[in-house]
Amino acid sequence: MYEFEFEKPSTVAEAVAALADEDAQALGGGQTLIPTLKQRLAMPSKLVSLSSIPQLKELSDNGGMLTIGGAVTHAEVAAAAADSYPALADLASHIGDPAVRNRGTIGGSLANNDPAACYPAAALGSGATIVTSTREITADDYFRGLFETALNEGEIITAVRFPVPEKANYQKFLQPASRFALVGVFVAKYAAGVRVAVTGASEEGVFRWHEAEAALDTSFAPDALDGLSVDAGGMIGDMHGTKEYRAHLVGVMTKRAVAAAG
Amino acid sequence: MPKDNGIGASPKRREDVRFLTGAGNYTDDINVNGQAHVHFLRADVAHAAINSIDTSAAETMPGVVKIFTGADFAEVGGIPCGWGVTDRHGNPQQEPRHPIIAHDTIRHVGEIVAAVVADTLEQARDAAEAIELSLSDKPAVVSMGAALAEDATKVHEDLTSNLCYDWVFGNPDDDAVQAAFDSAAHVTTLELVNNRLVANPMEPRVAIGDYSRATDEHTLYTTSQNPHVIRLLMCAFVLGLPEHKVRVIAPDVGGGFGSKIFHYAEEAFCTFAAKACGRAVKWTSTRAEAFISDAHGRDHVTKIELALDADNNFTALRTNTMANMGAYLSTFSTSVPSYLHGTLMAGNYKTPIVQVNVKTVFTNTVPVDAYRGAGRPEATFQLERVIDKAARELGADPIALRRQNFITEFPYETPVALTYDTGDYVATMDKLEQVADVAGFAARRAESEKNGKLRGFGINCYIEACGIAPSNIVGMLGARAGLYDAATVRVNATGSISVMVGAHSHGQGHETSFPQVVADMIGIDESMVDIVHGDTGRVPFGMGTYGSRSIAVCGSAMVRATEKIINKAKKIAAHLMEASDADIELKDGQFTVAGTDKSVAWGDVCLTAYVPHNYPLEELEPGLEETAFYDPANFTYPAGAYACEVEVDPDTGKVSIERFSAADDFGNIINPMIVDGQVHGGLGQGIGQALLENAAYDEDGQLLSASFMDYAMPRADDVPFYQVDHSCQTPCTHNPLGVKGCGEAGAIGSPPAVVNAVIDALQSGGKDVTHIDMPLSPARVWAAMNG
């Protein structure tokens, strides 16, 4: 890696100040950023670690609203949400491997917005609110395409608020090599309606499958999805699966998620 | 009763204590005082002319010691190819120069273009970024078919074409072979790809060159399976150094699978640069470099045809294969698709006519060479796939069809040059049917179908030629090296033993199994015997570890040397007991005089050899140390039968392996636990090839799967608990231990079983799928199911 300055602030305000420098880069758990640096694919002037800010490590369950600090690790979410939001806990417990889950953070994952990451599906599928150092952003407004989000330069995810659904499930079909989601579908049933969020599949990143949501609003059962499919046109095609295959898997994984949500 | 020591026992691997507790001494653990670090600037395009390389800015960067380009190596040799194949017309293979650093042309992504030696690795990397390259891109030659087209761009301008050789083996008479096909009752044809693989041992390659101005001696520390071979190739062909001035040390090596057999440019570079820089020079490959600089494996495209008579007897077999060599000829590259592949095309069957046609092809890709099995998996895969396809076309039971065509009498001379000394393919198939519970399959399939899954059962047989061997035969076939091995047994004065062996252990467990043999022969505790390996300064000579040869060839040398020790020790014992050496018996570490109660212990004899106060000095030299070189009379022929059971998810195409059973005949076995482990590892790699692994290039010659993000390695949850049986044992008839070798069997025998099982599953679900090319990824299986 190239040389860089390193700061480890203890408050959000200090972190925001540290990030004001040109080419400064926030460091969450480093599970994407550190390998990128090692390969010399990024050259930040300064890394600002978010791992020692107590506020970002907070986790609260406020009767139907789960709030997770931006620096909470996947392993911590898997443990803390097991009772309150089991589908989210299950998703967190299957990200990467134990090393990744004990370092990687929810804020880091959402800020990076890898098109094959799991958390974007949970956030969008839950209609979560992304709380930042300056504002609150709804998940529907937050995700803007591959590795693109509504975050401004130097804006830090301080917490994510998940409304807990009546039922939910996440089904991930693994890309055989990376074990990221080749296609992952998060289905959540709320009083206000069903949300279906798909990761891994689209050239535009995580997206909501509105047709499926409408069908499941009418009947929350796998066969409600019969005959529905996403357009293969916008899907990712690569050595691990064609556009058509990914489009097909979206249907299969959505049905499985509905069945598993019960 | 299982034995608790000696040959046939399963003591735990003594080397694992250091490996599992972090006490191993790998090449990267070695740091030489004052060492500098090299970073290789590697090509990021597949084919280009080098107009100029400007290193002037880079040379002024902090810490830079020296920057090397191809021009610095103009006076040294290229990397040699160790096997010269003669083509169907009697012409030698086309053999391009293989430079240490690209000189005027870049021929594959990953080729070294410049080397920066600096005080630290980061400084070397910084300076490499300041090197200015002026390149003129040329069209990349990637697919073998395109490479052989009339107007194809040439990978090497000075060769006549991209064809390395066009080789025929077996019956060369095209008309006679065609006549056999014309008169056949049935012909089955199959076109298939044997996918390109990256070996990916856990430890990437490392090389450290060191040079002593005081003694003019070079030391190379390297991750090698055969340090003596590296010394020979590097000294004699590349750098022109006398061998007695060069020591090559391969300490603990974290897996090789073939990829660490070969002499690589980085080894010669570090040796050369250490003298040029006056400092030791160290290189540790990153994983990213390994993907584009370690020799790849497999990469064959084949059409195979099998002719059968009206009674389903195999009457003729014909294959046409294109095999990728990559951009240059790696050490054993040309032998793999020829003599390690064509000679195995008879398989376990008495097919009277076999013709093997192979075209080897240069492309702008990483060189391709031996990978676990090396040619034999490619032979086995196509043969066992075409037999399975024939069985389906004929409505025959695939097991019965194989049994009907088995070779049953030994020795058996195949139509492709080999003479199988021994085997019992009926016995291994009987054992397989039992271990795999063939009878219970229908019930298991019904259960899977209840769960919405398609279940398939696939079998295959395999035979391999191991213990490569014998030197005079391989010499006639084009090998440019002898293929014996050597061992020195050094008995110390108090009776402990060091055995210097030419084989290198990098996962095979030699440090445990080799002492079992020596201890058993003498009747002493295994703890009194250690082996020494991996150092040309300590081991007299050796040809190294590959081709499942270590116990069969080096183990035989060790037995011969131990026999010499015992013979001499008996003479000493006879002297001590005032008896004739013909009457001396050795058992449980005691020398006795037959028919008397006289005895003398092993330790006393050893002490006498080194403290020869009462000793026949006029007849016998003091000391107790013997060396033997062993050149085998024939290959060994491990063989067996494998069965795979899969479930296929019809919704996603995902294959899961539910059962995998192996019945192997490895002849006599030294350590059954280690053999189990060797088979397990081989099966894991074979399953990896069948379901997961794929080194895929795009049309520009960029490796698409150049990291573990895209190159899928098999993981623990991709493989089942194996049923492994090696109780069928027909001992090798021509080596002293009756052993055959077991390292590659799993990787050779498993891919066809997996694919046969998936095809069986799909057909059971009414899908008209007769073949899918490996790897059988979910996407490929789903696409095949959905036409």
> Quick one: which of B93, B138, B81 has its CA closest to B364?
B138
Average of pLDDT values for B613-629? 96
Q: What is the pLDDT of residue B519?
A: 97
Average of pLDDT values for B113-131? 98
Classify domain A56-163 at the CATH topology level.
Answer: 3.30.465
Mind listing the pLDDT tens digit for each residue in B311-350? 999 999 999 999 999 999 999 999 999 999 999 999 999 9
Q: Residue B189: beta bridge partners? A: B305
Q: What is the pLDDT of residue B670?
A: 97
Whether B743 and B657 have beta carbons less than 8 Å apart is answered as no
Average of pLDDT values for B513-527? 97
State the virtual CA torsion across B233, B238, B241, B244 in degrees, nearest 10.
Answer: -10
Average of pLDDT values for B391-414? 98
B610 contact partners, CB below 8 Å, separation of at least 6: B492, B493, B622, B623, B624
Whether A18 and A53 have beta carbons less than 8 Å apart is answered as no
> Quick one: which of B64, B168, B181, B153 has its CA closest to B114?
B64
What is the rounded radius of gyration, in angstroms, for the C-alpha atoms of chain B? 27
The yes-or-no verdict on residue A123 having pLDDT over 60 is yes
> Quick one: which of A168, A157, A150, A165 has its CA closest to A133?
A157
Amino acid letter, A231: D
Average of pLDDT values for B568-597? 96
The yes-or-no verdict on residue A31 having pLDDT over 80 is yes
B130 contact partners, CB below 8 Å, separation of at least 6: B57, B58, B61
**Beta strands at B655-665 and B722-725: parallel, antiparallel or unpaired:** parallel
Mind listing the pLDDT tens digit for each residue in B164-180? 999 999 999 999 999 99
Residue that has been written with the tokens 């379901």 in this structure: B691
Average of pLDDT values for B282-311? 98
- Quote the CA–CA distance of B263 and B232 in Å, as a whole number: 10
> Quick one: which of B278, B284, B232 has its CA closest to B77?
B232
Whether A258 and A223 have beta carbons less than 8 Å apart is answered as no
Q: What is the pLDDT of residue B469?
A: 73
Mean pLDDT for chain B? 97
Q: Is B300 helix (H, G, I), strand (E, B) or coil?
A: strand
Residue that has been written with the tokens 């075209």 in this structure: B359
Q: What is the pLDDT of residue A63?
A: 84
DSSP state of B614: S
Q: How far is CA A67 from CA A147, A157, B160, in A?
A: 23, 12, 70
What is the secondary structure of B665-713 as a DSSP string?
Answer: E-BS-S-HHHHHHHHHHHHHHHHHHHHT----B-TTS-BSS-STTTS--
Q: Nearest CB to A245: which of B708, B710, B783? A: B783
Counting residues of chain B whose pLDDT is more than 90, the rounded percentage is 97
- Quote the CA–CA distance of B518 and B747 in Å, as a whole number: 29
Classify domain B375-463+635-785 at the CATH topology level.
Answer: Aldehyde Oxidoreductase; domain 4 (3.30.365)
Interchain contact B709–A (C-beta under 8 A):
yes
CB contact under 8 A, A249 and B694: no
- Quote the CA–CA distance of B279 and B289 in Å, as a whole number: 24
User: A30 — alpha (psi -120 to 50), left (phi > 0) or beta?
Assistant: left
Residue of B nearest to A172 (CA): B652
Q: Residue A235: beta bridge partners? A: A202
Mind listing the pLDDT tens digit for each residue in B366-388? 999 999 999 999 999 999 999 99
Whether B732 and B235 have beta carbons less than 8 Å apart is answered as no
Whether A100 and A31 have beta carbons less than 8 Å apart is answered as yes
Q: Nearest CB to A242: which of B691, B692, B779? A: B779
Q: Largest Cα–Cα distance of chain A, in whole Å? A: 57
Classify domain A167-261 by CATH number: 3.30.390.50
Other CB atoms within a 10 A radius of the CB of residue B20 amount to 10
Interchain contact B778–A (C-beta under 8 A):
yes
Helices (H), chain A: 12-18, 33-38, 74-80, 86-93, 98-103, 106-112, 119-126, 139-142, 210-218, 243-261
CB contact under 8 A, B712 and A252: no
Note whether B16-22+484-630 and B31-138+202-255+260-293 share their fold. no
- Quote the CA–CA distance of A246 and B612 in Å, as a whole number: 80
Classify domain A5-49 by CATH number: 3.30.43.10
Q: What is the pLDDT of residue B401?
A: 98
Q: Which residues of B260-283 are buried (b: 16+ CB within 10 A; e: fewer)?
A: bbbbbbbbbbbbbbbbbbebbbbb
**Chain A interface test: which of B125, B652, B780 (most A C-beta within 10 Å):** B652
B residues 105..164 contacting A (CB < 8 A): 122, 125
User: Measured between beta carbons, which residues in chain A are less than 8 angstroms from residue B712?
Assistant: 176-177
- Quote the CA–CA distance of B9 and B516 in Å, as a whole number: 8
CA A169 to chain centre: 14
- Quote the CA–CA distance of B214 and B33 in Å, as a whole number: 15
User: Measured between beta carbons, which residues in chain B are less than 8 angstroms from residue A182?
Assistant: 778
CB contact under 8 A, A252 and B651: yes
CA A199 to chain centre: 9
Q: What is the pLDDT of residue B198?
A: 98
The yes-or-no verdict on residue B2 having pLDDT over 70 is no
> Quick one: which of A180, A179, A178, A193 has its CA closest to A120?
A180
Please state the ipTM of this predicted complex. Answer: 0.96
Q: Tell me the pLDDT band of B139, cut-offs 50, 70 and 90.
A: very high
Q: Nearest CB to B710: which of A177, A242, A249? A: A177
What is the secondary structure of B579-621 as a DSSP string?
Answer: S-GGGEEEETTEEEETTSS-EEEHHHHHHHHHSTTSS-TTTS-
The yes-or-no verdict on residue B787 having pLDDT over 90 is no
Q: Tell me the pLDDT band of B1, cut-offs 50, 70 and 90.
A: low
The yes-or-no verdict on residue A203 having pLDDT over 60 is yes
Phi, psi of B25 (to 5 degrees): -120, 85
Q: Is B418 helix (H, G, I), strand (E, B) or coil?
A: coil
User: Measured between beta carbons, which residues in chain B are less than 8 angstroms from residue A43?
Assistant: none
Give, rounded to a whole angstrom, the gap between the first and last alpha carbons of chain B.
55
DSSP state of A42: -
B60 contact partners, CB below 8 Å, separation of at least 6: none
The yes-or-no verdict on residue B354 having pLDDT over 90 is yes
Would you say domain B16-22+484-630 falls under CATH 1.10.486.10? no
Q: Tell me the pLDDT band of B5, cut-offs 50, 70 and 90.
A: confident
CB contact under 8 A, B713 and A248: no
Note whether A5-49 and A167-261 share their fold. no
Q: What is the pLDDT of residue B53?
A: 98
- Quote the CA–CA distance of A87 and A123 in Å, as a whole number: 12
CB contact under 8 A, B696 and A40: no
Counting residues of chain A whose pLDDT is more than 90, the rounded percentage is 98
Q: What is the pLDDT of residue B151?
A: 95
The domain ranges of chain B are 16-22+484-630, 31-138+202-255+260-293, 375-463+635-785
B residues 156..175 contacting A (CB < 8 A): none
CB contact under 8 A, A241 and B779: yes
B residues 280..309 contacting A (CB < 8 A): 288
CATH class for domain B31-138+202-255+260-293?
alpha beta
Residue of A nearest to B121 (CA): A1
The domain ranges of chain A are 5-49, 56-163, 167-261
Mind listing the pLDDT tens digit for each residue in B222-250? 999 999 999 999 999 999 999 999 999 99
Average of pLDDT values for A83-97? 97
